[in-house]
Chains A and B, each alone.
Chain A
Amino acid sequence: MNSENAIVVRNLSKRYRLYTDYKYALLEYLLLRKKSYHTDFYALRDISFETRKGDVLGIIGDNGAGKSLLLKILSGSVLPTSGSVVVNGSSSSLIDLQSGFKKDFTGIDNIRMNLVISGYGQKKYEYLIDKIAEFAELGDFIRYPVSSYSTGMLMRLGFSISSVLAEDVFIVDEHIAVGDNYFMRKCIEKLKELHREKKTLVIVSHSMHLVANLSTKVIWLDSGRIREMGDPPTVVRNYEDYILKKENKEASQKIQPLSDEARILQVRITDSSGKSREVFDTEEDIVVEAEAVFHTPVKRPVFGVAIFKEDGRYIYGPNTFFDRFDTGECEGRIRFRILYEKPPLLNGKYLVSVAIFDPEHVYPYDFHEKRYSFEIRSNFLDHGDIKINHRWFIEKV
């Protein structure tokens, strides 16, 4: 094994035997496995990868893809069915701390316990206890049994212990999202610090932002296999595309008529000249045009078109009700259109919802939720959600 490698995983698989009832497992054991009562389930299959020292490995994927299991195997708390895992140096893992407290011990005693488990002798660790307690910022609670802690407090303690103990490899589950914003930022700072100290990090997260920002290498797990592995921007983008497609597919599958009065027939996203487009520049006019049919005459129905960032964040959603736009009496086929003038949107993908409501804007006749999309690609590199026109000033005083 190359000494530059921190983690080497070869052909790793984890199989679970699923029994409908555990008595069958016992039966099978007693019959010396002559007869089989189980179905095999591969939670991980044929995983191979390696990371170099100082790498930050991000693991992404849907729920149930095997991310957490992979972490548990890396941290040694679950044994693989086949294949090999070599972790160079001592590792510390956040996941197994999450639930791995002795509930009736005080915070201090839990810190002690973890230090001893990690191989610290009695003498060496007194100053580490202070360091951990200080990082956790639990105040007097540190002297009370952890059974009295909230989830956030447990997480603080867990992160504090495991990050201070991180010697060579630090394995972090997405639980860092449990803390409040302040502590989460502190965690991320700590992760960056560990990275600067050339420690190897393994991070599982649903926050693509976090993964894309911190990682130096990303693995995308799909149903227990590696679907893609490589540099973070590419893998994260491909994964996000996949999510988007999946959501669209799901959305179009669940077309349920909400009520009979009206139906949205089709929706187009075009530029101001009426040409269908998918990619726009920042501050370029965007038109969303929809065709609908009204089965019964409705006086002043409400039309709404909303824009979301691809992670689901609501950006803007005007409708004819709030805008006091008179839609008149609608019957039969109609076409309505909204022109977004110079939207100050920054780079990224956007989702569009289109809806028709009753005149009182109480319930929708039809609602196409986040079913349409467009992308903004521009030269503005500014961070954030929207562009706010601005000027800078500087002067000597």
Chain B
Amino acid sequence: MIRHVKYYYDQRYLLKLFIVNDLRSRYTGSVSGIYWSVINPLLMILIYTFVFSAVLKIEFHKGSGTLNFAFYLICGMLPWLSVQDSVLRSTTSIVENADLVKRAKFPASILPIHIVLSNLLTMLIGLALLIIILIFTGNPIKITILQVLLLIVPQLIFTLGLSWMFSSIYVFVRDIQPFIGNFVLLWMFLTPVFYPSTIFPQKYEIFLILNPAAHIVNLYREVIMKGNLIQPLSYITLLIESVVTFLAGYIVYTKLQPRFTDRL
């Protein structure tokens, strides 16, 4: 394992190259290229804020304020979109770059990894913007916000595990792509992105506990929106789930990787 960490450390320039190109390619053809990574989430935040606070006027509870609902929504959506986009795009990444993967020294795992990292970066930019807007709209930001750094770790290893698993299985079983598409859709509704977890039916609560994305979304909201301390139980559950997913993804990937070239 340590050997592998060193391996990826050695690949850091390659990773940088891929992430920069990935961020750039999302807005291909645009002059300002990489600056869109900032402008795009900013526009998203503004649009959601406008729609939910000025047009739809949705509140959680009476008097909690419409502006808050928009921020609350965005705070959960940013991490969710990061996970969702990582998983969806990673799945096909190895097959799409078959020519590269066939090359002797090319580390195929960099393909899902750079997508995950690139998405993580996009999310962090979005969250930073959100926090700045929160400060400007008079919301108190406490030092507890630094706990975000603690959340990144399980989110990263969870997404990485899932991306490794799907991307390597997809090489052999192409049928999983439509399945994953629908699975992610269902997953999104089982995750409290568009609703607070408090309205989730009590008897199905197990779905929330077993769903790492639910923990991730909830914890980000707790830390950023409410300025609370991380709930240890939720965090530990998330950590365990993430590590299990990561190991599973890692094992599947390393088992299948030597046979990629025969199937690409």
Contact = CB atoms under 8 A, between A and B. Distances in A.
Contacts of A117: 14, 103, 105-107
Interface centre among A26, A101, A113 (most CB of B within 10 A): A113
B144 interface: no
Interface string A89-108: 00001001101111011000
A75 B261 contact: no
Contacts, number: 57
Interface residues of A, number: 25
A247 B140 CA distance: 86
Contacts of B102: 77-78, 96, 99-100
Contacts of B106: 100, 117
B261 A78 contact: yes
A114 to B, nearest CB: 9
A360 to B, nearest CB: 53
B11 interface: yes
Nearest to B25: A104
B100 interface: yes
Contacts of B262: 16, 78
B11 A116 contact: yes
A154 B245 CA distance: 40
B258 interface: yes
Contact of A102 (B13, B100, B258): B100
B254 interface: no
Contacts of A217: none
A331 B159 CA distance: 86
A121 interface: yes
B17 A96 contact: no
Interface string A109-150: 100110011110110000000000000000000000000000
Contact of B99 (A76, A99, A121): A99
Given A102-B97, A116-B13, A121-B13, A79 B173 contact: no
A301 B104 CA distance: 62
A101 to B, nearest CB: 7
Contacts of A97: 103
B259 to A, nearest CB: 9
Contacts of B103: 77, 96-97, 100, 117
Contacts of A116: 11, 13-14, 17
Nearest to A106: B21
Contacts of B107: 117
A71 B189 CA distance: 50
B13 A100 contact: no
Interface in A47-104: 75-79, 93, 96-97, 99-102, 104
A104 B107 CA distance: 18
Contacts of B17: 105, 109, 112-113, 116
Contacts of B100: 100-102
A112 B100 CA distance: 14
A79 B104 CA distance: 10
B4 to A, nearest CB: 17
Contacts of B14: 113, 116-117
A26 B261 contact: no
B21 A104 contact: yes
Contacts of A96: 102-104
A254 B92 CA distance: 48
B210 to A, nearest CB: 27
Given A104-B21, A121-B13, A75 B104 contact: yes
A101 B99 contact: yes
Interface string A158-197: 0000000000000000000000000000000000000000
B256 to A, nearest CB: 11
Interface centre among A79, A101, A102, A109 (most CB of B within 10 A): A102
B41 to A, nearest CB: 22
A122 B14 CA distance: 9
Contacts of A109: 17, 21
A21 B87 CA distance: 28
A47 to B, nearest CB: 18
Contacts of B261: 77-79
Contacts of A78: 102, 261-262
A109 B21 CA distance: 9
A239 to B, nearest CB: 29
Nearest to A16: B262
Nearest to A90: B105
A75 B28 CA distance: 34
B218 to A, nearest CB: 37
Interface string B163-185: 00000000011000000000000
Interface in B82-107: 97, 99-100, 102-107
Interface string A19-33: 000000010000000
Given A79-B261, A112-B17, A119-B10, 16 more contacts: A16-B262, A26-B173, A76-B104, A77-B102, A77-B104, A78-B262, A79-B258, A99-B102, A100-B102, A102-B21, A104-B21, A109-B21, A112-B13, A113-B14, A116-B13, A117-B103
Interface of A: 16, 26, 75-79, 93, 96-97, 99-102, 104-105, 109, 112-113, 116-119, 121-122
Interface of B: 10-11, 13-14, 17, 21, 25, 28, 97, 99-100, 102-107, 172-173, 258, 261-262
20 contacts: A26-B172, A26-B173, A75-B104, A76-B104, A76-B105, A77-B104, A78-B262, A93-B104, A96-B103, A99-B99, A100-B100, A101-B100, A102-B21, A102-B97, A104-B25, A105-B21, A109-B21, A116-B14, A119-B105, A122-B13
Considering the complex of A and B, which 10 residue pairs feature the smallest CB-CB distances, nearest first?
Answer: A76-B104, A99-B99, A100-B103, A96-B103, A77-B104, A116-B14, A116-B13, A117-B105, A75-B104, A122-B13
